[in-house]
Amino acid sequence: MSLKVKYLGWAAFLLTGPSGTTAVTDPYLFGNEQTKVPPSPVKPEDVKVDLVIVSHCAGDHFGQALEILANSDSTKLLGDHSTLCLAERAGYGGTWDPRMELTTSGATYVQGDFTIHAVDARHIAFKHFPDGSYMTGEPLCYIIRVKDGPTCFFGGDTSLTYDMKLWGELFHPDVAFIGIGGVDLQGRSLDEMDPPAAAICAEMLGVKKVIPMHYRTQSYLDDFRQHLSVRCPGCECIAMKAGDTILL
């Protein structure tokens, strides 16, 4: 297997395929002191990729997609209608812009080394604007097949759903990037998928490796490892720190 993975922090991963195709997932790099999400050690101007993959329009997932798009005229954005509408508000041409790649649950998109299947996320896509208006959309997860490499499940912000068992049967993913925690809301952690649920997710997907993401404290990681060892003892937990790189 030959997928290079660099963890940028939160739900952001820089993926490099065996032929050199590059993509970044949910590029939230600035962090937020209020929600206690630390900033990435990587700056958006240093992220130059072929494709930006966004799970939904929430700020901590859409993140610095626009700044990364500005790095190269050839970089494309993959996401649902609301994701593309955010780019349109910033001056891009919306759905019909050649750099905007619309997807929806059930659809498949191919670029270079990556074949990307979109599937439903059990969540909400919501963006609130300073003028009081707001936007909703379709939250997604992605199954990313890498040519001559692993098949990866990227969970975005999904909570637990029995659909994960079906995805395991359909796509046979090798690796799962899944959230195990959430942001801090005035002392309450908003966890779309907590450690016990994340361990069940790994079990239903049938993966051999899990890379946990979207969590703030060591206690979440320790708890997840414990539950994973019970629910999915044959699955390896690969805990990455922001800036780390591995080869799958």
Strand order in the sheet with 4-9: 100-102, 76-79, 51-53, 22-25, 12-16, 4-9, 245-247
> What are the Cα distances from residue 218, in Å, to 166, 180, 184, 212, 221?
31, 11, 15, 11, 5
Instruction: Please tell me the distance from the alpha carbon of residue 230 to that of residue 160, in angstroms, as a whole number.
Output: 17
Q: Does 4-247 carry CATH code 3.40.50.300? A: no
Share of the chain above pLDDT 90, in %: 96
Q: For the residues 80-92, what does the mean pLDDT come to?
A: 95
Provide the residue ranges of all domains of the chain, joining segments of one domain with +: 4-247
- Per residue in 9-24, pLDDT (tens digit) is 999 999 999 999 999 9
- Per residue in 225-234, pLDDT (tens digit) is 999 999 999 9
Instruction: Please tell me the distance from the alpha carbon of residue 68 to that of residue 64, in angstroms, as a whole number.
Output: 6
Yes or no: say if 194 and 221 are a contact pair by the CB < 8 Å rule.
Answer: no
Confidence band, pLDDT 50/70/90 cuts, at residue 94: confident
Instruction: Please tell me the distance from the alpha carbon of residue 78 to that of residue 223, in angstroms, as a whole number.
Output: 33
Q: For the residues 102-131, what does the mean pLDDT come to?
A: 96
pLDDT at residue 1 tops 80: no
Q: For the residues 44-66, what does the mean pLDDT come to?
A: 97
Share of the chain above pLDDT 70, in %: 100
